[in-house]
């Protein structure tokens, strides 16, 4: 007999998690609580309720977490300008700590002694879910079916569904995209099928949020993004919540062919993986945030942020959102954002995010009277540069003399 009496399952209602639900009931002889999160994946989540009820689930959680996801996870991450390996905008990575947090909360609310997820034993998500869960509920038991069962192909999963009377729309499954996909407010990811060969170019039909740059409008779109403490709070003067900002930017930037990436990345578990990503809002947000910081952030703080960013991004990618070191870095990053206030004007054109202007009425460090190429009326004494240069050259001159 299993010592697990109740388990909370991260449940989408799709093929994999529908099978996991039945498998948990049979293999562990336990009660299953389902949790379905709406984090902006663009698909209806309510049908998961009927599927869970049909499977005999009594406690069903379906939560709209779009605002929390944008406000408490994506926006703080982008204050750091986080990019993993210089290219990946961390769309899947940043969603996992939120889901782990809610899994643990539901486990505590329902008295469950275990949680379960549908991540495979080859990927990063198993690490992210479980590191988050252990950080928030140290004694929780984690059940990862992909590390226990032998249903290691879609054919075996389909056969299991048929043998156990699991209601699956087989016609829909046969028409399903051949790619392994993950979607939320920040991105859609694509892996598998022809993408497993890094030489293959993605098919145009694969992309869902963006038009190809070649087919994007011939006229650019201009947007004015208003920042307060490093976060976008309005677009074109209209106040918006974090989730609304991202939904709007995804729609507008996607229509202009912005946000496609084709990457080979280093997974935390050790292998290289090829993935394609659509991140329209993220592409705009990161470019515009850097423009706002260029005007308002002190050079020393800006350069130190850039030195810390790869470590911060790696923490998120590897699943350490809830770690002390990430929280420490976040506090430092948020301190730098106190004066990152103002407006950035962006031009969206055929796959490009172009900075068309930036201004800050109260926090700009750009002093035109000093930077001007015209008469500065004594604001800057050019003769001061001579001593500055000689002092900085002193060690170089001493070294040169020694070499003679």
CB 40 within 8 A of CB 69: yes
Q: What is the mean pLDDT of residues 255-271?
A: 97
CA-to-CA separations, 33 to 1, 8, 62, 198, 311, in angstroms, rounded:
19, 5, 11, 39, 36
Residue-level pLDDT at 172:
53
Pairing of strands 238-239, 260-266: unpaired
pLDDT band at residue 173, thresholds of 50, 70 and 90?
low
Q: What is the mean pLDDT of residues 176-195?
A: 93
pLDDT tops 70 at residue 174? no
CA-to-CA separations, 271 to 124, 266, 274, 314, in angstroms, rounded:
10, 6, 10, 15
Q: What is the mean pLDDT of residues 79-92?
A: 97
Catalytic-role residue among 16, 113, 262, 363: 16
Catalytic-role residue among 49, 180, 182, 294: 180
Q: What is the mean pLDDT of residues 94-102?
A: 98
Catalytic-role residue among 66, 79, 89, 96: 96
Residue-level pLDDT at 1:
43
Q: Residue 235 forms beta bridges with which residues? A: 225, 238
Locate tokens 């490093």: which residue?
A: 230
Q: What is the mean pLDDT of residues 221-248?
A: 98
CB 210 within 8 A of CB 237: no
**262: annotated active-site residue:** no
Locate tokens 């003067």: which residue?
A: 237
Domains and CATH numbers, the chain: 6-176 (3.40.50.620), 183-297+340-359 (3.90.1260.10)
Q: Is the pTM of this model over 0.85?
A: yes
Pairing of strands 188-191, 272-278: antiparallel
Residue-level pLDDT at 176:
67
pLDDT tens for each residue of 161-171:
989 888 766 54
Q: What is the mean pLDDT of residues 42-52?
A: 90
Q: Which region among 40-44, 133-137, 216-220 has the lowest average model confidence (pLDDT)?
A: 40-44
pLDDT tops 90 at residue 154? no
Q: What is the mean pLDDT of residues 234-258?
A: 98
What is the rounded average pLDDT for all residues in the chain?
95
Residue-level pLDDT at 169:
61
Q: How many whole angstroms from its chain centre is CA 212?
A: 22
CA-to-CA separations, 280 to 112, 173, 221, 250, 284, in angstroms, rounded:
38, 28, 14, 5, 7
pLDDT tens for each residue of 137-148:
999 999 999 999
Catalytic-role residue among 89, 125, 260, 360: 125
Instruction: Measure CA of the first residue to CA of the last residue in the chain; give whole Å.
Output: 82
pLDDT tops 70 at residue 197? yes
Q: What is the mean pLDDT of residues 125-133?
A: 98
pLDDT band at residue 35, thresholds of 50, 70 and 90?
very high
pLDDT band at residue 44, thresholds of 50, 70 and 90?
confident
SS (H, E, C) the chain: CCCCCEEEEECCCCHHHHHHHHHHHHHCCCEEEEEEEECCCCCCCCHHHHHHHHCCCCCEEEEECHHHHHHHHHHHHHHCCCCECCCECCCCHHHHHHHHHHHHHHHHHHCCCEEECCCCCCCCHHHHHHHHHHHHCCCCEEECHHHCCCCCCHHHHHHHHHHCCCCCCHHHHHHCCCCEEEECCCCEEEECHHHHCCCCCCCHHHCCCCCCHHHCCCCCEEEEEEEECCEEEEECCEECCHHHHHHHHHHHHHHCCCCEEEEEEECCCCCEEEEEEECHHHHHHHHHHHHHHHHHCCHHHHHHHHHHHHHHHHHHHHCCCCCHHHHHHHHHHHHHHHHCCEEEEEEEECCEEEEEEEECCCCCCCCHHHHCCCCCCCCCCCCHHHHHHHHHHHHHHHHHHHHC
Residue-level pLDDT at 171:
45
CB 100 within 8 A of CB 128: yes
CB 99 within 8 A of CB 37: yes
Q: How many whole angstroms from its chain centre is CA 402?
A: 52
pLDDT tens for each residue of 326-357:
999 999 999 999 999 999 999 999 999 999 99
Q: What is the mean pLDDT of residues 222-243?
A: 98
CB 254 within 8 A of CB 244: no
Q: Which of 94, 75, 87 is nearest to 288 (CA)?
A: 75
**102: annotated active-site residue:** no
More confident residue, 171 or 231: 231
Whole-number Å distance between alpha carbons of 358 and 287: 12
**Which tokens go with 301?**
């703080």
**298: annotated active-site residue:** no
More confident residue, 155 or 349: 349
pLDDT band at residue 89, thresholds of 50, 70 and 90?
very high
Whole-number Å distance between alpha carbons of 134 and 113: 13
pLDDT tens for each residue of 276-294:
999 999 999 999 999 999 9
pLDDT tops 60 at residue 105? yes
**261: annotated active-site residue:** no
Residue-level pLDDT at 167:
75
């Amino acid at each position: 007999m299993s010592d697990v009496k109740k388990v909370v399952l991260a449940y989408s209602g799709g093929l994999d998690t529908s099978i996991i639900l039945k498998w948990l009931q049979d293999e562990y002889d336990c009660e299953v609580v389902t949790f379905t999160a709406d984090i902006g994946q663009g698909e209806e989540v309510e049908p998961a309720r009927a599927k869970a009820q049909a499977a005999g689930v009594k406690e069903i959680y379906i939560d709209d977490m779009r605002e929390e996801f944008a406000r408490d996870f994506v926006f703080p991450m982008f204050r750091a300008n986080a990019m993993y390996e210089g290219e990946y905008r961390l769309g899947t990575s940043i969603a996992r700590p939120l889901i782990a947090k809610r899994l643990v909360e539901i486990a505590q609310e329902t008295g469950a002694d275990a949680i379960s997820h549908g991540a495979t034993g080859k990927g990063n998500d198993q690490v992210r879910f479980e590191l988050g869960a252990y950080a928030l509920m140290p004694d929780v038991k984690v059940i990862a079916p992909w590390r226990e069962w032998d249903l290691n192909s879609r054919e075996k999963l389909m056969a299991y569904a048929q043998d156990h009377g699991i209601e699956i729309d087989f016609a829909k499954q046969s028409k399903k995209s051949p790619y392994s996909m993950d979607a939320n407010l920040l991105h859609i990811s694509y892996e598998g099928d022809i993408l497993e060969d890094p030489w293959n170019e993605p098919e145009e039909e694969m992309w869902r949020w963006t038009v190809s740059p070649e087919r994007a409008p011939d006229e650019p779109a201009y947007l004015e993004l208003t920042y307060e403490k490093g976060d976008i709070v309005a677009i074109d003067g209209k106040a918006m919540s974090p989730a609304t900002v991202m939904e709007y930017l995804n729609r507008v930037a996607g229509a202009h062919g912005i946000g496609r990436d084709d990457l080979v990345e280093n997974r935390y578990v050790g292998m290289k993986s090829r993935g394609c990503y659509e991140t329209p809002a993220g592409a705009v947000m990161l470019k515009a945030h850097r423009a706002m910081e260029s005007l308002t952030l002190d050079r020393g703080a800006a350069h130190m942020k850039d030195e810390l960013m790869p470590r911060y991004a790696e923490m998120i990618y590897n699943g350490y959102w809830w770690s002390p070191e990430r929280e420490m870095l976040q506090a430092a990053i948020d301190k730098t954002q106190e004066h990152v206030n103002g407006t950035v004007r962006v031009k969206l054109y055929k796959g490009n995010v172009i900075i068309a202007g930036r201004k800050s009425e109260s926090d700009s460090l750009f002093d035109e009277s000093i930077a001007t190429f015209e008469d500065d009326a004594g604001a800057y004494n050019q003769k001061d540069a001579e001593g500055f240069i000689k002092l900085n050259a002193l060690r170089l001159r001493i070294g040169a003399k020694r070499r003679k």
